Amino acid sequence: MASLEILRTDRLVLTRWTAEYEDFLFDMYSRWEVQQYMGRVPAVMTDPSAIPDLLKRWESLRDGVQGVWAIFKDEPSATPVGSILLKSIPASGTGEPSGDIEIGWHLHPDQWGHGYATEAASAVLAAGFSSGLDRVVAVTRTANTASQAVCARLGMTHLGLSDEYYDVTCELFEILRP
């Protein structure tokens, strides 16, 4: 599917990350407060040379509205805020695509507390449902109450604990196409 290039909300512009933002991405992903609930064994990024590979991986995920969105305030040249991911979620055990699509959010701590994650995710979800998705899930660590609050603000339904994905036991949320 042709990749969607831009999404706009009242306060935000969502586009795709480019090499221009490598320093911002390293700054964000090298912070424990951003990484503490991510992955099977959470770890901060310690080497900026990992960012170009990350950008390549994200580029390969682009498919219509799916992929990793860069969030900016107002215009792409303005302040970067963080990332919204809409992508296939791997099944526990095999690591193969589970058949489900997940949404996720990583914001720079300087940008927390303004409603930007919810506003950006809402636009990505709407575009995903318009493009034909029937269901989107989100997984969060039980301790990640900030992320669970985003799920709630988006109107996602809490399905309880699940070990279906990523070989991790997480709180599972879902939202169905309206």
Ligand X SMILES: CC(C)(COP(=O)(O)OP(=O)(O)OC[C@H]1O[C@@H](n2cnc3c(N)ncnc32)[C@H](O)[C@@H]1OP(=O)(O)O)[C@@H](O)C(=O)NCCC(=O)NCCS
Q: Report if residue 86 touches ligand X, rule: CB under 6 A.
A: no
Which of residues 16, 73, 87, 114 is near ligand X by CB under 6 A?
A: 114
Q: How far is the CB of 161 from ligand X (least distance, A)?
A: 14
Q: Report if residue 116 touches ligand X, rule: CB under 6 A.
A: yes
Q: How far apart are CA 139 and CA 123, in angstroms?
A: 19
Name the residue with the smallest CB distance to ligand X: 115
CA angle 55, 174, 9 (to 5 degrees): 55
Residue 54 tokens read as 């990350």
55 or 150: whose CB is closer to ligand X? 150
**Helix, strand or coil, per DSSP, at residue 39:** coil
Q: Report if residue 106 touches ligand X, rule: CB under 6 A.
A: yes
Which of residues 115, 126, 158, 162 is near ligand X by CB under 6 A?
A: 115
Q: Report if residue 101 touches ligand X, rule: CB under 6 A.
A: no
Q: How far apart are CA 115 and CA 113, in angstroms?
A: 6
130 or 145: whose CB is closer to ligand X? 145
**Helix, strand or coil, per DSSP, at residue 72:** strand
> DSSP strand E in the chain: where?
7-8, 12-16, 67-73, 80-90, 97-107, 135-140, 157-162, 170-176
Q: How far is the CB of 1 from ligand X (least distance, A)?
A: 26
Q: Which residues are CB-contacts of 56 (< 8 A; sequence separation ≥ 6)?
A: none
CA dihedral 63, 126, 37, 79 (to 10 degrees): 80
5 or 29: whose CB is closer to ligand X? 29
Binders of ligand X in range 30-59 (CB under 6 A):
34, 37-38
Q: Report if residue 107 touches ligand X, rule: CB under 6 A.
A: yes
The residue ranges that bind ligand X (CB under 6 A) are 34, 37-38, 104-107, 112-118, 140, 144, 146-147, 149-150, 153
